[in-house]
Amino acid sequence: MGKNSITIEDVLNKLKVKRTSQREALIRSAYEFSLMAHAGQKRKSGEDYIQHALHTALNIAKMGMGSKTIAAGLLHDVPEDTTYTLDEVEKKFGPEVAFMVNGVTKLGKIKLRGTKEEYYLENLRKMFLAMASDIRVVIIKLADRLHNMETLSALPEDKQKRIALETMEVFTPIANRLGIGEVKGALEDLSFKHLDRENYDKIRKIQEEEYAQRKKYLDRAVVELRKELTNDGIKVLDIFGRSKHLFRLFQKLKKHDMDINKIYDLIGVRIILPDISDCYAALGIVHKKYRPLVGRIKDYVSLPKPNGYQSIHTTVFGPEGKIMEVQLRTRQMDDEAEFGIAAHWIYSDKNQQSLRHLIFGNKGKDKLKVPEKELAWVKQLQDWQNELGKDDAEFIESLKIDFFKNHIFAFTPQGDVIDLPEDSTPIDFAYKLHSSIGNRATGAKADGKMVTLDYKIKNGQVIEILTVKENKKPSRDWLMFVRTSLAKSQIKKAFKK
């Protein structure tokens, strides 16, 4: 066995859902079938093909997915790369597992042709269709891509570049939108390594040197904070040091003229606590021990990021006055930050309750239960793509803005939360409320103060839209500054009428 070889026991040991005999039997059965189907096959790296199936399954298990998804991960290349058919997989493992395997096979059929943009578009469309039919298909695809990226150096250089570019353009934004931070960070770093080796090596060197220097302060902070919290009666589930992913560090350094001293969150302490009230109580204790940096407290618990991320971040002057970040969160918040939408399976399983809403799935009895709130944007994608029609350039542009750009939250005066892409304006906000409010908008207030209609809304602001009563047409000038495809299409629609 090679140095990175794993066994089915490694996969089973990483299960986050309850390890029942029924689940274990399904996973072992899928492994035996995959082992038989791929017998004698080798990958370009020289390892047995079954290793790829095992690593894919291991990534899926780490994300907290259930036994059927893990089984589908073990079988995902069988119909495509062996003499066994999808019908045989369905006969042995049932329609739900076969549906996922088929979904992954379809996603794998996209081959590069035409322009990069056409390819990018086709790939994204297929990804979204797969998401809308069963989100687990995309989770398997991300797990599969992660192992492919880890073994990418076995391929010719031109292929390495193409796959790394596709990963950066298509897979990392999807991992981000699904809130799977751990997979997103790993995919970005692996793509970065193949797309820009010079900067990758430079950043890795900076990080290693800085981390080595700062580690002693980090270790001391972990000991001191654990002691302070325990003395104050706060139960600490876990406390550990963490460092930034390389690609994110590179992005930050570019914003700060490559000056590492301006990066305050290169290293940090993460504290896992039993519940939300403990997070706020612990924040006070952290600030009593270490002086906070003014204006550097971010509360993503009361105002989560649109991909669901929740945590409290504070930047403090730690041991010997060294600046470091402290993150406070519950175990569930931590799992959801690392594994996003996938983490919901763990918690629905632990609580022995079905997830709240029945949406998306192959028709009929195998429909998958997933939380509607977290996946409302996938549903929105379908409706909105139908509305945009066939204009590919417009579809790509809107995708990049509406779905892959950083998002902010703004509030109505009644306290309803409106999710918008960064740099959105009061007109975007108005159309998000209703097309007639957008059309009749004459002015806006942000936090009670009058602002212009092209004002860029900031995260957490309360926005009030002033309207006229009679029917009025929007202004053509608005097309110059609105950010969302919804606002653009509604303005154009009003003029067509």
Find which of 31-35, 105-109, 322-326 is predicted with most confidence, using mean pLDDT: 31-35
Q: Which of 9, 24, 48, 81 is catalytic?
A: 81
The pLDDT-based confidence of 101 (bands split at 50, 70, 90) is very high
Long-range interactions of 49-53: CB distance < 8 A, separation 24+: 49/77, 49/81, 51/2, 51/4, 51/5, 51/6, 52/77, 52/144, 52/147, 52/148, 52/151, 53/77
Q: Which residue has the higher pLDDT, 51 or 309?
A: 51
User: CB count, 10 Å around CB of 355?
Assistant: 18
Mean per-residue pLDDT, 434-456: 93
Q: Where are the alpha helices (DSSP H) in 82-115?
A: 86-108
The pLDDT-based confidence of 368 (bands split at 50, 70, 90) is very low
The H or E element that residue 353 is part of is none
Judge residue 469's burial from the number of C-beta atoms within 10 Å of its C-beta, 0-12 exposed, 13-18 middle, 19 or more buried. exposed
Which SS3 state, helix, strand or coil, does residue 364 take? coil
- Determine the pLDDT at residue 232: 95
pLDDT score of 155 more than 60: yes
pLDDT, tens digit, for every residue of 192-246? 999 999 999 999 998 888 877 888 888 999 999 999 999 999 999 999 988 778 9
Find which of 388-392, 414-418, 473-477 is predicted with most confidence, using mean pLDDT: 473-477
Task: Give yes or no: 81 in active site.
Answer: yes
Of 258-272, 295-309, 336-350, minimum mean pLDDT range: 336-350
The pLDDT-based confidence of 28 (bands split at 50, 70, 90) is very high
The pLDDT-based confidence of 327 (bands split at 50, 70, 90) is very high
Domains assigned to the chain: 8-195 (1.10.3210.10), 198-339 (3.30.460.10), 374-496 (3.10.20.30)
Mean per-residue pLDDT, 293-316: 86
Q: Which residue has the higher pLDDT, 254 or 113?
A: 254
- Determine the pLDDT at residue 376: 52
The pLDDT-based confidence of 90 (bands split at 50, 70, 90) is very high
The pLDDT-based confidence of 123 (bands split at 50, 70, 90) is low
Q: Which of 10, 24, 47, 80 is catalytic?
A: 80
Which SS3 state, helix, strand or coil, does residue 272 take? strand
**Can you name the residues that pair with 437 across neighbouring β-strands?**
none
- Determine the pLDDT at residue 66: 86
Task: Give yes or no: 201 in active site.
Answer: no
- Determine the pLDDT at residue 213: 80
